Amino acid sequence: MRRLFLIVISLIFALAAAGNALAAAERRVALVIGNNDYQNITKLEKAVNDANSVARELKKIGFEVTAYNNIGQKKMNLAVNEFVQKISGGGIGIFFFAGHGLQVNNQNFLVPIDMDSPRSENDLADQAVSVLAIQDKIADAKAKFTLLVLDACRDNPLPKKSGTRSIGATRGLAPPQAPNGQVVLYSAGANQQALDKLGDNDNNPNGLFTREFLPSITQPGISATDAMRRVRSTVTQKAKSVGHDQQPALYEQTDGDFYFVAGPAPNATGKPTTTVVQTVDPKAVELAFWDSIKNSNTPDDFSDYLSKYPDGQFSALAKRRLGATNSTATRGGDSPATAPAPTQLALSQPRPVPETGPSIASKIEELGKMVSLTVSDLRATRRDNLLRIQVEITNTSSSNQQLYYRFKWLDRDGFSVWDDEPWKPLLVYGQQKQLINVVGPTFKATDFRLILQSPNNISN
């Protein structure tokens, strides 16, 4: 329907006034640090291996990863500051640290490789990196979701057993404060040591915690908190199998779910069930729809609203407006329009648009013609002075399709205002849909272009 298409077009460029609460995701950024080669305290064996393994997996699932091995306090602090800057304004962040950890006066610290052998609590606090300070920086940056994974030891400054990590006060790391939107996972509970191996014959290059953490971040359709609970359960069970107590500690304060890999969650048979996507607030979408037509003099606009929202917030007002516009049209010699049923907008076959505004299709650049994947819906809004985009991708084939995408962020004159993003993967299951939700990385981004490519594309 031409009228519906025009309404959707108006939504793209006028939703700022509506305050549409689209589910914002992301610039997906990860900072991964592994410290083995401590200069003045006990060295570790597998922290660097663990960090490198995590960095590789996060890159595979679309994270922009910065990884460091064996760095000192100054470099750690600079890395944290850069990480926080990248996830500011609604981004998604994962911080993974493998190395020594400690507690001083109920505050937790991560240990850089250049820390001197501790002589007092003041020495520790002055030379280590505060976990609380990291969390405060993230909270101030207004990141949408962050996961802090601390594969650090929980016990004494000197190692007690071969194959364990241990540094800090004997009472272990203190429970962290978890600001809204943050999840914190420790590799071991209070007064416990994080095992590097399950026995003398264990030649796995990763420690126990990391080898259980890795598969949890690559399974489609599992929320971050559910994945972390699974990690806690499997680590606890495997540690008990060798007579060791290690129960990862999870602290969570989030309003919704984050998925490392979106897609159908497996059921008991291991087969996919329904697709898991981040949802849109339906009331906000309705409000955006109404704001786009409330000053219209065209009966079709209000008929479309009533067809979609017969019992909506503005249904009574829409009926009065429809009656008034119909009366005006009748007096002018025109017959009242009957609203057809709303249809799904298929951007792969764009309909004609007026010359007064750009088309939705102009926002999409395909590197080769898509075979089975189409952009079936595209919405945009500004909130907190940041551009937020929601894209619906539909797979019309019965087989799973791999898609890669990135956004180009532009100003109102079409000039780029941000560095080129890395390609992000998206797996769209057969005959299903997936949502891409992103937030602009800078206030200067007032326009965008979505660039898509698929291994099954037909070359231009």
* Angle at which helices 208-216 and 47-60 cross, to 10°: 0
Q: What are the angstrom distances between the C-alpha of 403 and each of 64, 88, 164, 424? A: 17, 26, 42, 8
CA distance 241 to 239: 5
Which of 60, 52, 137 has the alpha carbon at shortest distance from 98? 52
Confirm if 342 and 306 have CB atoms less than 8 A apart: no
Q: Look at the block and give the residue holding tokens 């799973």.
A: 400
- Return the amino acid letter for 387: L
Which of 448, 365, 386 has the alpha carbon at shortest distance from 414? 448
Give the model's pLDDT for residue 177: 56
Give the model's pLDDT for residue 50: 93
Any idea what DSSP says for residue 361?
G
Q: What are the angstrom distances between the C-alpha of 102 and each of 57, 121, 128, 172? A: 27, 10, 9, 7
Give the model's pLDDT for residue 282: 61
Residue spans of the domains in the chain: they are 28-157+174-253, 282-318, 360-453
Q: Look at the block and give the residue holding tokens 């962050």.
A: 146
Which of 283, 281, 293, 342 has the alpha carbon at shortest distance from 313? 283
Give the model's pLDDT for residue 34: 95
Q: Look at the block and give the residue holding tokens 């001197």.
A: 116
Helix extents (H) in 174-241: 208-216, 224-240
- Compute how many other C-beta atoms are within 10 angstroms of the C-beta atom of residue 198: 17
- Compute how many other C-beta atoms are within 10 angstroms of the C-beta atom of residue 420: 11
Tokens standing for residue 179:
């600001």
Give the model's pLDDT for residue 33: 97
Helix extents (H) in 180-223: 208-216
Give the model's pLDDT for residue 118: 67
Q: What is the CATH number of domain 28-157+174-253?
A: 3.40.50.1460
- Return the amino acid letter for 14: A
Q: What are 278-320's pLDDT values in tens digits?
A: 334 566 567 767 766 777 777 877 887 888 788 888 888 888 8
* CA atoms within 13 Å, Cβ hemisphere of 299: 16
- Return the amino acid letter for 61: I
- Compute how many other C-beta atoms are within 10 angstroms of the C-beta atom of residue 300: 22
CA distance 254 to 183: 7
Exposed (0-12), middle (13-18) or buried (19+): which is 265, by Cβ within 10 Å?
middle
Give the model's pLDDT for residue 255: 60
Which of 40, 134, 117, 121 has the alpha carbon at shortest distance from 79? 134
Give the model's pLDDT for residue 125: 75
Q: Please, what's the b/e burial string for 150-162 (b: 16 or more CB within 10 A of its CB; e: otherwise)?
A: bbbbbbbbebeee
pTM, 2 dp: 0.53
Q: Residue 119 region, left (φ>0) first, then alpha (ψ -120 to 50), else beta?
A: alpha
CA distance 238 to 245: 9
Give the model's pLDDT for residue 326: 64
Tokens standing for residue 94:
């994962």
Tokens standing for residue 452:
């898509």
* CA atoms within 13 Å, Cβ hemisphere of 456: 14
Q: What are 137-172's pLDDT values in tens digits?
A: 888 888 888 999 999 864 444 444 444 444 444 445
Give the model's pLDDT for residue 68: 96
CATH 1.10.10.10 fits 360-453, yes or no: no
The gap from C-alpha 29 to its chain's centroid, in whole angstroms, comes to: 9
Q: Look at the block and give the residue holding tokens 């501790």.
A: 118
Tokens standing for residue 98:
């493998």
Residue segments in the chain with a per-residue pLDDT below the cut of 50: 1-2, 5-9, 12-25, 154-171, 268-269, 271-280, 331-358, 460
Which of 399, 371, 364, 380 has the alpha carbon at shortest distance from 439? 380
Point out which residues pair with 250 in neighbouring strands.
Answer: 185
* CA atoms within 13 Å, Cβ hemisphere of 23: 17
Torsion of CA 56, 61, 62, 64, to 10 degrees: -30
Give the model's pLDDT for residue 164: 47
